[in-house]
A = this chain, B = another copy of it.
Amino acid sequence: MPAKVKTKSTIFNDPIYGFISIPFDIIQTLIEHKYFQRLRRIKQLGLTHLVYPGAYHTRFQHAMGAMHLTGLAIEVLRSKGNNISTEEAKAVSIAILLHDIGHGPFSHALEKSLVSNVNHEDLSGIFMESLNQQYKGKLTLAIKIFKNKYRKKFLHQLVASQLDMDRLDYLNRDSFFAGVSEGVISSDRIIKMLNIKNDQLVVDAKGIYSIEKFLIARRLMYWQVYLHKTVVSAELLLVKILKRAKYLYGKNKDLFATPSLEFFLRNQVDKSSFEKNKSILDEFANLDDYDLLSAIKVWCNHEDKILSSLCNKLVHRKLNKVEIQGERFKKAHIEKIKKAVIKKLKISPKDVHYYVYSDVISNKTYNPNDDKINVLYKDGSLVDVAKASDHLNISVLSRTTKKYYLCYPKM
């Protein structure tokens, strides 16, 4: 049963914004719900702290920060004469607060191993529906906005677009905690420049340089932090660990795990499972960083050599070597490495994929086919930022950058 509402005046300390106030009672209620409290136990950046030790912050903090920025944005938009009702403000605040609630622990790795065909956005939607039932429809408008089914589209854009409050917070927060000052953006300045035109979230022309810097900062964070080769390598290692564990469960091997983790190791769970069986959501809601890491630590001593060796690498940070380049790796190069590894580790060729693996990651700084970022000029005209800027040209910005990763044990 949901907690009782009361603490209208709660204030949270935040290292980035100083103070975060809770604007509505329902927000406080949702924060106190165990579905949300669980975000305190899920790190925002998974294993990134293995490279940037400060990046140990949680999804709880990010959700609070994005909600805070949304409040500021609403204030700015209203001050420029745009109408946003209290109900709409409340709904968009709920939507942003819960936009990431569907994230599991080490989300990217999890989605490639423990669950299938379901991503964190689907799950956020499922969580919201469940909460909406518990709170008797109080989240209906928030869900509409989240799913972009509400008539005022700009409200959805505050939650999810190329200039949403999600990105504004996570860029600042992640760069702050990682200690990568190049990623810092002036969320304050950008928000002051927001406006609405034709039911779209746009940027006043004065803010164009801030948007440029925001795009550059975002790109920089991608390559310097989110897709840092050692981070990618650690996450791929985690996928291998979970896949091996699942494989061993399939073989009826005994593995230490919390009941919730065991559930996901033992069963095939996909989107439809969540829809068919309501209790699976509660199992999922029980899962956090602590389930995974505590099990992996125990598995360091498991009798299965593959599992234990992979776990030791992760826990004691003996990570794989990573090559990174702009083109696909030559097959011959990969084969040569695999052979060497098979020989060195005395493993079967069919298991070499646990030790030698590659991935390709692509990223686009700005996608002009998506919701554009539009710049509003004093004469009322709107121009796509990629055209408005005298520097950023669309061909450069919209080019997809691809990087190929090849990981294998140091030998």
A217-B213, A290-B293, A294-B291 known; A18+B188 contact, CB < 8 A: yes
Q: Nearest CB to that of A191 among chain B residues? A: B19
Q: Which of A294-350 contact B (CB under 8 A)?
A: 294-295, 297-298, 301, 315-318, 326
Q: Nearest CB to that of A3 among chain B residues? A: B318
A268 on the B face (CB < 8 A)? no
A57-B56, A178-B15 known; A258+B192 contact, CB < 8 A: no
A contacts with B, residue count (CB < 8 A)? 73
A213-B182, A290-B289, A294-B291 known; A53+B37 contact, CB < 8 A: no
Interface of A is mostly: helix
Chain B residues near A295 (CB-CB < 8 A): 294
Chain B residues near A58 (CB-CB < 8 A): 49, 53, 56
CB pair A316–B13 under 8 Å, yes or no, is no
CB pair B317–A32 under 8 Å, yes or no, is yes
A179-B18, A209-B182, A298-B259 known; A37+B317 contact, CB < 8 A: yes
* Further pairs besides A15-B177, A288-B297: 9, Cβ < 8 Å: A13-B52, A15-B176, A37-B315, A37-B316, A37-B317, A40-B50, A53-B64, A289-B290, A393-B396
A-to-B contact residues, CB < 8 Å: 3, 11-16, 18-19, 32, 34, 37, 40-41, 49-50, 52-54, 56-58, 60-61, 64, 176-182, 184, 186, 188-189, 192, 209-210, 212-213, 216-217, 219-220, 223-224, 256, 258-259, 286, 288-291, 293-295, 297-298, 301, 315-318, 326, 365, 390-393, 396, 401
